[in-house]
Amino acid sequence: MNNITLAPVQTDQPSHLMPVFGRQPISFVRGRGSYLYTEDGTEYLDALTGIAVCGLGHSHPAVTEAIIDQASTLIHTSNLYEVPWQTAAAQKLAEVSGMEEVFFSNSGAESNEGAIKIARKFGNMQGITTPKIIVAEHSFHGRTLATLSATGNAKVQEGFAPLVEGFIRVPFGDIEAIEEAAIQHPDIVAILVEPIQGEGGVNTAPQGFSYLEEIRQICNQHHWLMMLDEVQTGNGRTGQYFAYQHTQIVPDVITTAKGLGNGFPIGAVMTQGRAVGVLTAGNHGSTYSGTALGSRVVYTVIDTIQKENLIENANIMGTYIVEQFKQQLAEQNVIVRGFGLMIGLELPKACGELVNVAREQHQLIINVTAGSVIRLLPILNITQEQADELISRIVKLVKDFL
Predicted confidence at residue 85, as pLDDT, reads 98
- Residues 107-123: what's their mean pLDDT? 98
Residue 11 pLDDT grade (very low, low, confident, very high; cuts 50, 70, 90): low
For residue 160, count other CB atoms closer than 10 A to its CB: 12
Quickly list DSSP for 55-99: TT-BT-HHHHHHHHHHHTT-----TTS--HHHHHHHHHHHHHH--
What's the pLDDT score for residue 76? 98
pLDDT tens digit string along 14-53?
889 999 999 999 999 999 999 999 999 999 999 999 999 9
Percent of the chain topping pLDDT 70: 97
Q: Which residues of 176-204 are buried (b: 16+ CB within 10 A; e: fewer)?
A: ebbeebbeeeeebbbbbbbbbbbbbbbbb
**What is residue 7's predicted lDDT score, i.e. its pLDDT?**
66
What is the CA angle 3-300-66, rounded to 5?
Answer: 25
Residue 2 has pLDDT above 70, yes or no: no
Is 321:338 a contact under the CB 8 Å cutoff? yes
- pLDDT tens digits for range 214-234: 999 999 999 999 999 999 999
CB count in 10 Å sphere of residue 96? 18
At 1 the pLDDT is 44
Cα(274)–Cα(271) distance, rounded to whole angstroms?
Answer: 8
Work out the angle between the directed axes of helices 292-307 and 310-328 (0-180°, nearest 10): 70
C-beta neighbour count of 159 within 10 angstroms: 6
pTM: 0.95
pLDDT band at 3; cut points 50, 70, 90: low
Residue 245: name the closest of 232, 255, 256, 234 by CA: 234
- Cα atoms in the Cβ-side hemisphere of radius 13 Å centred on 109: 9
Within 8 A by CB and 6+ apart from 75, the residues are 291, 292, 293
Q: What percent of the chain has pLDDT over 90?
A: 96
pLDDT tens-digit map of 71-111: 999 999 999 999 999 999 999 999 999 999 999 999 999 99
> Quick one: pLDDT at residue 8?
66
Q: What is the pLDDT of residue 113?
A: 98
User: Do 48 and 36 touch, CB atoms closer than 8 A?
Assistant: no
The whole-angstrom separation of Cα 371 and Cα 73 is 46
Q: In 3D, which of 74, 78, 7 has the Cα closest to residue 287? A: 78
Instruction: With beta carbons less than 8 A apart as the criterion, state whether 117 and 284 touch.
Output: yes
Q: What is the pLDDT of residues 134-154, one digit of tens each?
A: 999 999 999 999 999 999 999
Q: What is the DSSP letter of 272?
A: -
Where residue 374 falls among pLDDT bands split at 50, 70, 90? very high
Separation between Cα atoms, residue 379 and residue 53, nearest integer Å: 9
Q: Is pLDDT above 80 for 198? A: yes
Please answer whether residues 111 and 255 qualify as being in contact, where contact means their C-beta atoms are separated by less than 8 angstroms. yes
Mean pLDDT of the chain: 96
Rounded distance between C-alpha atoms, residue 168 and residue 177, angstroms: 10
Length of the chain: 402
Q: Exposure of 359 by Cβ count < 10 A (0-12 exposed, 13-18 middle, 19+ buried)? A: middle
> Is residue 6 predicted with pLDDT exceeding 90?
no
Asked if 268 and 256 touch (Cβ cutoff 8 Å), the reply is: yes
Phi–psi pair at 252, nearest 5 degrees:
-85, -30
Cα separation, 143 vs 402, whole angstroms: 34
Residues whose CB is less than 8 angstroms from the CB of residue 122 and which lie 6 or more positions away in sequence, other chains included: 131, 189, 190, 225, 274, 275, 278
Report DSSP letters for 13-55, one per residue: S---S-S-S---S----EEEBTEEE-TT--EEEESSHHHHT-T
Residue 29 and residue 37: Cα distance in Å, rounded? Answer: 6
How far, in Å, CA of 254 to CA of 252, rounded? 7
Name which of 272, 325, 366 is nearest 52 in CA terms: 366
